[in-house]
Structure 1
Amino acid sequence: MSTPEELSRALKEHEESDYHGLWIWQYIQDIVFGGNDGIVTTFAVVAGTTGADLPHSVVIIMGIANLFADGISMGTGSYLAKRSERDNYERLRKEELFEMEDHPELEREEVRQMYRKKGFTGHDLERAVEIITSDKEKWAEIMLNEEHHMDKDAYAHPITHGVLTFISFAIFGCIPLLPYLFGTARESRFTVAIISTFVALIILGITRSYATRERLIRGPLEVVSVGALGAIVAFGVGVFLKNLVGVVL
């Protein structure tokens, strides 16, 4: 039988070996969503302007403008969403603490009923209630997690969520523009943009699959499908508007 020290060491090694234990993993949703939106919206700009047969300088101007405008919008949106969730968590935490002061026995009974449903009985149940209610901050945290499924760590750093969303948007959003920025031959620019965008979307899809532990094929398939749909629509709209208004530049 393992000693407590051996179990503690084994648990630490397990957490360190599990990629879901890395600090960056709590922000993977921001990275994937920001990157996906950056690629799709920027490539939609590239596809739309290409469909309208506009010069590559227009593609660059509109693409970079999209990177900054939409990227800032995504980043601030992520920040505000997480901050709102954090504020809501704090509001509910204060309500729980107030109820503990105002109706302590009722709140203890709530804990008792909660852990009875989990299978605790007799002395073990009463001991669990005693331990949980001995620290009001921890008690409130447990109640928020059990009743509202809220984890304080998920809302701890809203600025980091916003910054990483913007950075991911900007980095991945640059990919469809690279052929237009670095002198790729005119006739092959759009083709290179399609290929590089496709590869980047697959990478994002695989990352999402690892993050959600879903089937490996599902993430890339869904991400590429959404990107392809956006590109087809944008290209089609560009061609349609060119023919409709007779744009010749």
Structure 2
Amino acid sequence: MTGDTPAALNPDHHADVSGGWLRPAVFGAMDGLVTNIALIAGVGGGGVSARSIVLTGVAGLVAGAISMGLGEYTSVRTQNEQVAAEVAKERRELERFPEAEAHELVQTWTARGLPRELAEEVAAVLQRNPEEALRVHAREELGVDPDERPSPWTAAVSSFVCFSVGALVPLVTYLLGFEQLWLALGVGGVGLFVAGALVARFTNRSWWGSGLRQLLLGAAAAGATYVIGSLIGVNAA
């Protein structure tokens, strides 16, 4: 084959969009970065010691990673259970009212421009294959593929690990013995930009635009908590 072979002939020419790892991984990493950058900015703005900043950051990392992992597992499992319930309902409808369900498919396809005769022929063929009919009805009516559901464990682990890594980034300078708040926030900002740039690999966005967007969002969060921390620290004094 030549380099001009159509991509459609390659079964792996599309990225895996149903595995359930990318969204929680990105969400976890960004949330870990922004959460701990904002926490460090807030307590640092309040004038606490470097030891207290490290304690706050580590507590935020552990609590946030556990919360993210449990939240992702529960949400993905709940979504899968809802999909399973709806697919079971569709299976019962196909068993009880096959003609009505076939007519529903015909109406859907003809509304999209398919010739009615062809739509009726395809629907009739599907009636002879109940499992394939169920998959087609699930895609057309529910917008899901019953055979491709995200794994709750994959989502949970991806979120837990990526949150932990993201939350660790702004703590690195303190753990290495540097006690300057601006240095920790600077490292956190670099982490946000790099994370945003890496995400662009999966979305075909410009790497610098994606990185800059994440940097600005994180900077806004850090700025808000720094101001609040400064006000509370002054008042407490």
Shorter chain as denominator, the TM-score bin is: 0.7 to 0.9
Structure 1 stretches of 5 or more lacking a match? none
Structure 1 residue 58 corresponds to structure 2 residue 56: no
- CA shift at 1:122, angstroms? 5.2
Residue in 1 aligned with 2:63? 69
Tell me: CA distance 1:99–1:221, structure 2 relative to 1, closer, same or farther (3 Å): same
Selected match of 1:90 from 74, 80, 84: 84
Residue in 1 aligned with 2:9? 11
Q: Would you say the 8 A contact 1:32–1:207 is kept in 2?
A: no
Residue in 2 aligned with 1:198? 189
Task: Report which of the two has the higher share of helix.
Answer: 1
Question: 1: CA distance between counterparts of 2:185 and 2:66?
Answer: 25
Residue in 1 aligned with 2:75? 81
**Secondary structure in structure 2 of the residue aligned to 1:53:** coil
Residue in 2 aligned with 1:241? 232
**Secondary structure in structure 2 of the residue aligned to 1:54:** coil
Question: 2: CA distance between counterparts of 1:30 and 1:238?
Answer: 30
Question: 1: CA distance between counterparts of 2:128 and 2:6?
Answer: 25
- CA shift at 1:237, angstroms? 1.2
Selected match of 2:199 from 186, 197, 208: 208
Structure 1 residue 43 corresponds to structure 2 residue 41: no
Q: Which residues of 2 match residues 94-109 of structure 1 at below 5 A?
A: 94-109=88-103
Structure 2 stretches of 5 or more lacking a match? none
Identity %: 25
Q: Would you say the 8 A contact 1:43–1:231 is kept in 2?
A: yes
Count residues with an aligned counterpart: 234
Tell me: CA distance 1:160–1:197, structure 2 relative to 1, closer, same or farther (3 Å): same
Q: Would you say the 8 A contact 1:34–1:166 is kept in 2?
A: yes
Residue in 1 aligned with 2:130? 136
RMSD (CA atoms): 2.5
Instruction: Supply the AA of the counterpart residue of 1:82.
Output: V
TM-score of the superposed pair, with normalisation by structure 2 = 0.88
